[in-house]
Structure 1
Amino acid sequence: MSTAIVRHILVKDIAQAEALKQKLKNGADFAKLAKQHSICNSANRGGELGEVKKGQLVPVIDKLVFSAPEKVLQGPVKSKFGYHLLEVKFRMGSLR
């Protein structure tokens, strides 16, 4: 079973997601931005989702988590919850 350590920021608006992505690219602290802006319950943990199993997240995010390169900022990605910026910190287990 594949698992991954993931962190993300969830916002309702694409423009806000793009602005936060630019701040992150310019060196802003991911955890600090997540605490300030994310509407997910993970915000109080700096956006940390912790260890997630394949199939545990909404399909569009799950697919990204288990295919995107590690330690590379992804997004904004739209789901039914809003717009996600996410980073796979580490992946374990078989990927295919």
Structure 2
Amino acid sequence: MATASACHILVKTKSEAQKLKQELDKGADFHQLAKKHSICPSSKKGGDLGEFRKGEMVAPFDKAVFKGPLLAIQGPVKTQFGFHLIKVLYRN
């Protein structure tokens, strides 16, 4: 089964996600922004979710991780939890 590793920043609003994405596009550090802004418990680890299998995450998140580009910031991706900015570190 396919696996991947990703980091994410989870926020409540699309506008907040878009603002953070603009900061990332200007060179802001993903892990620092995750620690400061993400509402996910993974924020303590800079948004690092570790390795997980295809199908373990909610569908929109899963699709972004397993179909989107590697090492590029994707999002905002909407799920029932809020809006995610996702950085896929690797997949196999």
Q: TM-score, normalised by structure 2?
A: 0.98
Percent identity, aligned pairs only, is 53
Please tell me whether Structure 1 or Structure 2 has the larger radius of gyration of its CA atoms: 1
User: Which residue of structure 1 aligns with residue 61 of structure 2?
Assistant: 61
Secondary structure of 1:66's counterpart equals: helix
Unaligned runs of 5+ in 2: none
1:23 alignment partner in structure 2 = 23
Q: Normalised by the size of structure 1, how large is the TM-score?
A: 0.94
Q: 2-side partners of 1:38 and 1:6: how far apart?
A: 14
Distance (Å, rounded) in 1 between the aligned partners of 2:69 and 2:80: 23
Post-superposition Cα deviations, 1:73-96, rounded to whole Å, max 9, x if no partner, equal 10001100000000111111xxxx
Shift of 1:63: 1.1
Can you give the 5+ residue segments of structure 1 that lack an aligned partner in the other structure? none
Answer yes or no: is 1:10 the counterpart of 2:17.
Answer: no
Q: Count the aligned residue pairs.
A: 92
Runs of 4+ in 1 over 3 A off after TM superposition: none
Cα separation, 1, equivalents of 2:29 and 2:69: 20
The 3-state SS of whatever aligns with 1:32 is helix
User: How large is the Cα RMSD of the aligned pairs?
Assistant: 0.5
Q: What's 2:71 paired with?
A: 71
Hey, what's the Cα distance between the residues in 1 that align with 2:70 and 2:44? 23
1:47-88 superposed Cα distances (whole Å, 9 cap, x missing partner): 000101000100110111110011111000110000000011
Which amino acid counterpart does residue 84 of structure 1 have in structure 2?
H
